[in-house]
Amino acid sequence: MSLLARVFAPKATAYAHCDLPCGVYDPAQARIEAESVKAICEKYAQNSDPEFRARALQIKEERSELVKHHLWVLWTDYFKPPHFEKYPQLHQLFNEATKLAGAGGTKGSTDAAKADELLGKIEEISKIFWETKQG
């Protein structure tokens, strides 16, 4: 390695959910978006106006995508191998949750029951997350 490369090489590796390693993670971000998805599904079912429904679908799909994003950040950036060893169900739980936020779940459906399933998975992830913060 050249002297110049050694001088400019990073001294430490930082991990964060954004470009600034703030270290702030919380499943509440995914939960809030999922609650929004559920509320939109309920409002969609109660309103027959086509313009309202079109807008509701667009917003619901955006919020579902945000749920996936926030879950992926936790899955890929916060949780580390020791967490997955202690909680072997964690990979499956994230897989199920992100699929529930996807096309086969809340992104592709107006069924509030799907949103409830998603919220249940997020709650399970949240419980594990907060257990990891205690230790």
More confident residue, 73 or 7: 73
80 belongs to a structural domain: yes
Interior CA angle at 100 toward 134 and 21, to 5°? Answer: 45
79 belongs to a structural domain: yes
CA-nearest of 97, 94, 79, 88 to 133 is: 79
| CATH number of the domain to which 46 belongs | 1.20.120.400
More confident residue, 19 or 37: 37
pTM, two decimals, is 0.83
Which tokens sit at 60? 């619901």
pLDDT, mean of residues 1-30: 68
Whether the per-residue pLDDT at 6 is higher than 70: the answer is no
84 belongs to a structural domain: yes
129 belongs to a structural domain: yes
Whether the per-residue pLDDT at 113 is higher than 90: the answer is yes
9 belongs to a structural domain: no
4 belongs to a structural domain: no
89 belongs to a structural domain: yes
CB-count exposure of residue 127 (10 Å: 0-12, 13-18, 19+)? exposed
Q: Tally the domains of the chain.
A: 1
Its domain, for residue 57, covers 25-134
Tell me, what DSSP letter sits at residue 104?
A: T
pLDDT, mean of residues 112-121: 98
H helical segments located in the chain: 3-8, 28-46, 50-73, 81-86, 90-100, 112-134
Which tokens sit at 55? 């807008």
15 belongs to a structural domain: no
